[in-house]
Structure 1
Amino acid sequence: MLKKYYSGYIDLDCKSDYGEQPYKGRYFSIYFDTPREGKSDVTCRIKDSEGNDVEVECKEAIIQTSSIENAIKVLELISAALTLLNAELYEADRTSILPFSSEERKLMAQEFMLEEKMVGNQIHAIPQVLLACKIACKVSFRRVYYNALLKYQLGNYLYSITPIELDPSHSLYYKLSPFPSDYVKFAYAIIAFYSVIEELGLEIRASEKKPSFINGKWNPVIKKDLEARLKKDGINTQELFSWILRSTPTNIERHLLKSGKLKPVKKSSWARSSVRDSKIKLVDAILLVSNLRSSISSHKFSKLVESLSIYDVSNANYLVRRLLIEKLGFWR
């Protein structure tokens, strides 16, 4: 028999109709209902059927599964899905799980060495919880999606920056870090992000005998193979990708331009002065992240690793985010 657990995630995107519930995962289901005791004061305003503004109680995601261990695994999936949607780290707080059963609450308090009143004391009232739950359910049915999502979260754990910090109208240019600990984190975040691409089966499949690039141009056989796999997965290869380029070109950018791998199609609409963000082809973006991983971040570091910036990591992050969300069917 399935047990019930409050997740600690309250959906700030209040819905008058959550559609058909519960949402089913492989070993669990999720539905939205009245929040846990003492947390029913979280409200938002929506339009009723007659178009009037009304204040309604926000609902909490409730997990149905066989054990507290499974409930925590679902919580971690939801948190990883929120990381994916927001492109910044959301860490699962295991103590936000609150069993419906008083007996399980006592056992959980013992497990986490907490006072019983502290079990389930954490809540997170945030937007996009419903979509995150739907993603968690879909991901649970396929191991490659499961792995990809958790690797994406790991990349953000190693390094992530709030998206607004990348908006040139809100933030200044971030110079290259003088601290080796930073470029080591940047490198391993890029490795984690490219590993997501591999989990999805969208990596560049080249070899010494069949390189991806010949004389500064794509090997047409390798490029055609990649495009075919992208299209098979429902990914729109015609939709360009925004590649962040800021201030004076770094040694890495010069290296990518000289090799012919960085090929801007046009400037992004917001590009001005030192903001040189450009639209590039999706296959070229995958090639660039592959190069950042293979030639700069992996194996023994070369001098180029010192030119890794938050923008290189963010480019890898946003590319992987798009590929994973689009493959899961939630991009639009």
Structure 2
Amino acid sequence: MSRSPRRPPQLRGRIFRGSHAVTSGLLTRNDLRSSAWRSLFRDVYADAQLPVTHRIRCTAVGRWLIPSAGAIAGRSAAALYGCAEVAADEPVDVVVPRGVRVGVIAGLRIRRGPIDPGDILDRAGTPVTSPERTCWDLALWLDLVEAVVVIDVLLARRLADASTLRGYALARAGRRGWRAMLRAVDLADAGAESPQESRTRVRLVLAGLPRPRTQWVVSDRGRFVARLDLAWPDYRVAVEYDGLWHAEPERFHSDRRRLNRLVTGGWIILHLTAKRLRADFEGFVAEVQAALRARGAVPPSFSGAG
């Protein structure tokens, strides 16, 4: 009859260095290979009953594996700030100064670049890039749309503000990445309430349409009617991103009543689903163009869209 794996109380619910556990006599090398423990990185283990998230893995990297003068960066930094959802098994982004020699560490994505004073903060013992530097790296490392998705959240949670971010970029004019950061910040909007709303807004603007207002409130004689995801209020045209909640019967009922009030108030409401965002966004752009033209929006303000 096989015995249960050893689970010393001192290690339950914790992340630890395997070598420390062995030298202290809490575990043996064979114990570390049992089902009681999960390997996160080389010589870094977690209680197998502990739900491991990307943020927990970032904390482990920051405590034991961060290279000299480096910091958790990019989307991983945004995850530590609570502003990005990153899968637990995705590599942890780390930035180190140029010239620092770093060996390959499985599970880390190490990038090099200049690090200025103030670029690294201590967050509960974990070195992490400042919100401003995080936005810089996002703009430099990610697709423009995906960078704006995360910057929107940093702005919405007031961890950064657009004027400070522009100043940060302009102070580094000429350095690789400064124009990318300015472009991302100019497209960002603290009013976005979901990643898909952000993606929709940015892609509409990049397609050449006028920039919409976010979370536009519609009222009728002082009474609240609706709050619209994206709107061009001068033309009473709006875009709503449809999530899975529309499958809920009661929510569907109230949403349709809301839609009727908007339509009778003269609004054109265009609905975008995840499938169309993914597979037919060009067709959706054409529909928004047509609606704006029907309401008097004059080309060439968006004649280059498509």
- By relative contact order (CA 8 Å, sep 6+), the higher-ranking structure is 1
- TM-score greater than 0.5 by the shorter chain: no
Higher gyration radius (CA): 2
TM-score by length of 1: 0.25
